[in-house]
Amino acid sequence: MIGSSMRRIAFLLLLAACDPPFEMKGDVVDGDGKPIANAHVALVCDGTEVRRADSDGSGRFDDREIGFFPLRCTVEVHAANRPVASIPLRDVCMAGPREDTCNEIVLHAHLARR
């Protein structure tokens, strides 16, 4: 009985130490609202790309992982023949395990032509 309780406590401690799930999703469209395929959506922290997703034929992207990122990061959207959009993570963060972090990003990017 004591062994069972100790295993349960160890399991709960291990579970509590795990990072939360991370998701970055949304869509990329042009000025007319038409989807942009193959747009590169990147989460950039301290100048380094830490997560990446590419839009599909309908302009949608989705990246799932484990972890969370500081709100000082930015989301950058790159697409052919269009200016790069740089959005503060704070503006597109839907949830975070702490006040200064994010683990859920929802972005609806509108990119005009150059």
3 found inside a domain: no
33: three-class secondary structure by DSSP? coil
Span 44-63, pLDDT tens digits: 999 999 999 999 999 999 99
84 found inside a domain: yes
1 found inside a domain: no
4 found inside a domain: no
Domain with 47 in it: 20-111
28 found inside a domain: yes
Span 52-91, pLDDT tens digits: 999 999 999 999 998 999 999 999 999 999 999 999 999 9
| Overall domain count for the chain | 1
User: Residue 62 belongs to a domain with what CATH number?
Assistant: 2.60.130.10
5 found inside a domain: no
What is the pLDDT, as a whole number, of residue 12?
44
CA angle 103, 108, 111 (to 5 degrees): 130
